[in-house]
Structure 1
Amino acid sequence: MEGFLRFQLDQIPFVAISLIIAFTVHELAHAYVAYKFGDPTAKNEGRLTLNPIAHLDPIGTLLIFIAGFGWARPVPVNRSYFKRPRLAGVLVALAGPLSNLIIAFLGIFIWEALINFHLVQALDAILPRMDEFVRDLFNMLVFLNVMLFVFNLIPFPPLDGYRILEDLAPDNIRSKMISIEPYGGFIFLFLVITPLGSYIFTPIFKVAIPFVISVLYGIIGPLFGY
């Protein structure tokens, strides 16, 4: 069974906890920003909540364990409520990935604070190997949230990056992009299950994600004197 999974079996609890946090906050961020711009659709459908049941998608969640990435239930957005649809559209789309970046930042910050104030050793004194559990959990939390941040900014339908690009594009180009969007999910799954995807996903896992994590550590490090 382990050979079919993107993560080791002993990592599954950390993946599950991190996913619940990452997907829930991501979708809540979309819903909240849309609501602030005047669209009550997500709120009326119960999506303006921290309840993960309202946001998790079974297939998208399962794919995280198999392929290393996935998706949650998309938040419904009715652009007709927006006074400035393009600006609101960009900010609503951007809110999700940014929320994941913020979670990753906070994860690193809290972990470094635990180390700096010697609280990790205190955890181990209370319960053996608790320090390892907390370390692995924060590592997974940071990794998965940075992964979602990077992946969702790819300008490929139906990802947030594509929606941002749509709202930044001229009307004639935007209309063509909207016509392509319904087929994006099928194309994306095709890339996932075929070798062609390696040309896109391998650089993301080996270059982009480690780079973002290193930047976050570079920002947080001086706060703790190193």
Structure 2
Amino acid sequence: MAFGRSPGRVGGLPREAFRPSALFLGILAAFVISGWLTWTGFGDPGIDVFLFVVTGWTVSLCLHEYAHALVAFKGGDHDVAHRGYLTLDPLKYAHPLLSIVLPVVFLLIGGIGLPGGAVWVNHAAIRSRFMDSLISFVGPATNMVLAVVLVLPFALGLDNGGDPAFWAGLAFLAFLQLTASILNFVPMPGVDGGNLLFPWLSPQWQRGFNHVAPYGMLLLIALLWSPVINDWFFTVVLGIGDVIGLPDSLVGRGLGLFRFWS
């Protein structure tokens, strides 16, 4: 005998586990409103750009972590839905240091985007090594896709209307997506790029990986303080930006407007 699905459940889970949270929708609305304020030149352009970039960055962080969770769910770990990761709620991805302190500090002093969320995946439930790697891949890939989408108006010559501050803010937001994607693709333990390789390592290498992983992001940040590595990193970011059509002059202006207090 076949039974119909309960109207209030999806795959045995309540529909609320898959609905965008009110907090995410509120942040998305704030992004749209601040974008309109920046476009029309209403109010102080620095504050407008600051709100536009911060809310846009938060939306992208949620999408980055949602991509991890969605592929994990498809790969066999249904606990991600129980944990609320498929609701796009930024509080579900929060880690006090990595999610709040470090991303804000780097935005304010360096203009580097650090996706700081955390999605805890039960890797034992994932059906294959390919899916396990794909879980790590889709997060930074989401940032790269967002960067391309944000750059499209510049590449297509559509950046004519609206206040110039809007386009500067949009360019800076696209730049942040690029930095986040490139940083997360670095093959270092504790970073998405390293986690992508983890399923294919030998047990001995996996044990060593697990010892380093808790400090991976902090080590990566420390390396960026080196002038040589920092110059190399930004050369790579701006080089990719040139390829996809990101105007670096507008990135600099966007950063200046974002830091309206300086």
TM-score range, shorter chain: 0.7 to 0.9
Matched residue, 2:199: 167
Over 3 Å counting, the alpha-carbon distance change for 1:155 and 1:199 in structure 2 is: farther
Question: 1:99 & 1:38 partners in 2: Cα distance?
Answer: 21
Change (3 A) 1:181 1:133: same
Other structure's SS at 2:85 match: coil
Count residues with an aligned counterpart: 194
Q: Superposition pairs for residues 130-169 of structure 1, below 5 Å?
A: 132-169=164-201
| Residue number in structure 2 paired with 1:43 | 81
Aligned to 1:66: 109
| Residues 21-32 of structure 1 mapped to structure 2, 5 A cutoff | 21-32=59-70
Q: Counterpart amino acid of 1:35? A: F
**Structure 2 residue runs without a partner (length 5+):** 1-45, 247-262
Distance 1:45 1:143, change over 3 A: same
Identity across aligned pairs (percent)? 23
**Partner amino acid, structure 2, of 1:217:** G
Q: Residue 18 of structure 1 contacts residue 140 of structure 1 at CA under 8 Å; is this kept in 2?
A: no
Aligned to 1:97: 140
Aligned-residue offset at 1:150: 0.4
| Map of 2:120 onto structure 1 | 76
2:238 aligned partner: 210
- In structure 2, what is the Cα distance between the partners aligned to 1:26 and 1:150? 13
Deviations 1:39-79 (A, max 9, x none): 12222111112333433522133123234333322111101
Q: Paired residue for 2:55, among 17, 37, 59?
A: 17
Relative to structure 1, the CA distance from residue 140 to residue 189 in structure 2 (aligned partners, 3 Å threshold; closer, same or farther) is: closer
Letter in 2 for 1:47: Y
User: TM-score, normalised to structure 1's length?
Assistant: 0.75
TM-score by length of 2: 0.65
Moved over 6 A (4+): none
* Alpha-carbon distance between aligned partners in 1 of 2:200 and 2:240, rounded to the nearest angstrom: 24
CA drift at 1:15: 3.0
Alignment gaps of 5+ in structure 1: 1-8, 219-226
Q: 2:151 aligns with which of 91, 99, 108?
A: 108
Q: Given the superposition, is the C-alpha separation of residues 190 and 211 from structure 1 closer, same or farther in structure 2, using an over 3 Å criterion?
A: closer
| Residues 155 and 245, structure 2, Cα contact 8 Å, conserved in 1 | no
The 2-side partners of 1:34 and 1:81 are apart by: 9
How far apart in 2 are the matches of 1:144 and 1:199? Answer: 20
Structure 1 vs Structure 2 CA RMSD:
2.5
What's the CA shift for 1:191? 3.8
Quote how far apart the aligned CAs of 1:146 are: 0.7
Q: Deviations over 1:165-197 (max 9, x none)?
A: 2223333322222222223244345445xx4x3
TM-superposition CA deviations, 1:145-174 (whole Å, max 9, x none): 111110001122321111122223333322
Residue identity opposite 1:208 in structure 2: V
- SS, match of residue 174 in structure 1: helix
Structure with the larger helix share: 1
Matched AA of 1:74: A
